[in-house]
Amino acid sequence: MNMPPTPAAPDAFARGLAGVVAGRTAVCSLEGDLRYRGYSIEPLARAGDFEEVAYLLLHGELPTRAERDAFAARVTSAARSLDPAVIDCLHRLAAARPDAAPMDALRTGVSLLGQIERDVLPGRREALLAQAERLLGQVPALLAAWCDLASGRPVAPWPTGSIAAALLERLTGRTPPADHAAIFGTTLVLYAEHEFNASTFTARTIVSTGSDMHSGITGAIGALKGPLHGGANEQVLEVLAAIGSAERAEAWLEEQFAAKRVVMGFGHRVYKDGDVRAKLLGAMCRALTRGTAAEPLEGLAARVESLMLARKGLRPNLDWPAARVYHALGLPVSVFTPIFVVARMSGWTAHVIEQIGDNRLIRPLSLYCGPAPRDYVPLASRVGQAEACPTRTGFSLSPIRP
């Protein structure tokens, strides 16, 4: 007789690996303050220099002016030299499915880049750093190329300037004013790295098997696509649009609470007293939108923040102000999460290099909660559940005779 499944002991495992220390990293720390390679996030975010931060994450130290300029030149060169075979593949995909998600196009594009580079096994540290720098330029160029191709336009050339200014120009079709490029750069800095989050852990797990950087990054993009991770920033604007006005905020939230729905943009697995990144960017967002057509949205956002804190004790995470910043900059919602990919490419590749440099296969255990041990029955001797348990169906097992 089969025994019922043995229930798992409630404290024998951590759901979602919450609170589990799964390894060591020198890339980022969340202890007390978010720090990249030991540097507090606040001055890095206020400077808004994504190239400086990407260099820091990859090379371990802040660059000199000469090092930063040389690094930026290498990244820009990569952005301007996408292999024509990749563009051709994306063009064919856009012709067949122009409505395909940009995240899917990025995932496909990075995989194609790996094939073109013949990235099969991890190389030496110098080769990995060169790969990472190329990806830092190639991925924003892939995103911009996809947006052109999906809209039926030829792929425009990559502009001069920083990654932030160039990408913002490519995505909006106009040269951004200095304050727009600056706050966009700040969002890239804030999204650049965040320790062992789901997508970073995915990348580290993949390369821990001895696989290559492009495979790890392709997997990370797939993980970031999910609405509980990177995809949340797209849903923030949907939340604000659904509420519509500050006067309707309380009633709308009550509906969500009653239905036990998650309100995107609030709460964080790690930050219990509020996301420092959200505080920094929230203040910048309010300054950016003051006196503009986007300012009324800030009043609605402030009302929602107040109600969420009062009712649920939840504070905003980074996605909450980032979505509003991107909206104010005139960016379509479909590129919000791909922009996250552009930024996090710096953190992902830094973690991939770190994992490869001191590797051990990531292979956790599980707590089994299925059926108890049971005997195998040959196929010819098996009967269906209805035949074995006639009282459950009411049918007789007597054969039907002609």
Q: What is the pLDDT of residues 245-283, one digit of tens each?
A: 999 999 999 999 999 998 988 987 777 777 899 999 999
Cα 107 to Cα 147: distance, rounded to the nearest angstrom: 14
Q: What is the total count of domains within the chain?
A: 1
Half-sphere exposure of 331 (CA within 13 A, CB side): 28
Active site residue 351: no
Does the residue 186 lie in any domain?
Answer: yes
The burial of 123, by beta-carbon neighbours within 10 Å (0-12 exposed, 13-18 middle, 19 or more buried), is given as middle
* Residue 196, both tokens: 């062992």
**399 vs 175 pLDDT, higher one:** 175
Structural domain for 216, as ranges: 34-357
Does the residue 201 lie in any domain?
Answer: yes
Does the residue 73 lie in any domain?
Answer: yes
Q: Is the separation of the CB atoms in 214 and 119 below 8 Å?
A: yes
Does the residue 193 lie in any domain?
Answer: yes
Q: Tell me: pLDDT of 2 over 80.
A: no
Cα 164 to Cα 180: distance, rounded to the nearest angstrom: 9
Does the residue 370 lie in any domain?
Answer: no
Active site residue 59: no
Q: Tell me: pLDDT of 7 over 70.
A: no
Q: What is the pLDDT of residues 23-65, one digit of tens each?
A: 899 999 998 889 999 999 999 999 999 999 999 999 999 999 9
Does the residue 149 lie in any domain?
Answer: yes
Please give the average per-residue pLDDT across 120-136, as a whole number: 93
The burial of 150, by beta-carbon neighbours within 10 Å (0-12 exposed, 13-18 middle, 19 or more buried), is given as buried
When mean pLDDT is compared across 86-95, 222-231, 253-262, 327-336, the lowest value belongs to: 222-231
Active site residue 49: no
Band the pLDDT of 396: cuts 50, 70, 90. very low
Residue 276: CATH number of its domain: 1.10.580.10
What pairs with residue 316 in β-bridges?
Answer: 266
Band the pLDDT of 5: cuts 50, 70, 90. very low
Cα 51 to Cα 166: distance, rounded to the nearest angstrom: 12
Does the residue 394 lie in any domain?
Answer: no
* Residue 236, both tokens: 């923030």
Q: Which of 91, 214, 268, 351 is catalytic?
A: 268
Q: Which of 148, 212, 275, 319 is catalytic?
A: 319
SS3 state of residue 48:
coil
Does the residue 199 lie in any domain?
Answer: yes
